[in-house]
Amino acid sequence: QVLLVESGGGLAKPGGSLRLSCAASGFRISDYYMTWIRLTPGKGLEWISFINNTGGTTYYADSVKGRFTFSRDNAKNSLYLQMNSLRDEDTAIYYCARDQEVTSYGSVWRGLDVWGQGTTVTVSS
């Protein structure tokens, strides 16, 4: 069964840090690009970060650039989101999702087809 399971959410103070993890099973993350998305009550879904299959390329939303770092450990079939300098507006449910598949022809985008159940981050003093 193809699954993504996030963990590491919780309560953090403004200016604090959290590290989210996303464990994959049923497929090899080394064959896929991956993405983090968050859901906030006021703003809906927000794309926040992308990583390619090797970890050599990452992209970030302006709202988190310079504060969040997306990394991966293909050997452990896991992904990580290091969140520093947290702000109130980072309060959200964070999801990891499977993105493009890497094939011999290049990457193939079929939407974000597998999502985790989400982990809740609350930033508050």
Partner 1 sequence: DIQMTQSPSSVSASIGDRVIITCRASQYISNWLAWYQQKPGKAPKLLIFVTSILQSGVPSRFRGSGTGTDFTLTISSLQPEDLATYYCQQANSFPFTFGGGTRVEI
DSSP letter assigned to residue 94: E
Judged by CB under 8 A, the chain residues 66 through 95 that form the site for partner 1 are: 95
Please identify which residue in 41, 66, 106, 111 interacts with partner 1, judged by CB under 8 A.
111
Helix (H, G, I), strand (E, B) or coil at 48: strand
**Comparing C-alpha atoms, which of 71, 75, 73, 98 is closest to residue 83?**
71
Which span (9-17, 22-30, 33-41, 78-86) binds partner 1, by CB under 8 A?
33-41
How far is residue 124 from each of residues 11, 76, 90, measured CA to CA in Å?
7, 32, 10
Which span (15-23, 24-32, 58-66, 76-84) binds partner 1, by CB under 8 A?
58-66
Question: Is 50 a residue that touches partner 1 (CB under 8 A)?
Answer: yes
Between CA 50 and CA 10 the distance in angstroms is 22
Question: Is 2 a residue that touches partner 1 (CB under 8 A)?
Answer: no
Footprint of partner 1 (CB under 8 A): 35, 37, 39, 43-47, 50, 59-62, 95, 109-113, 115-118
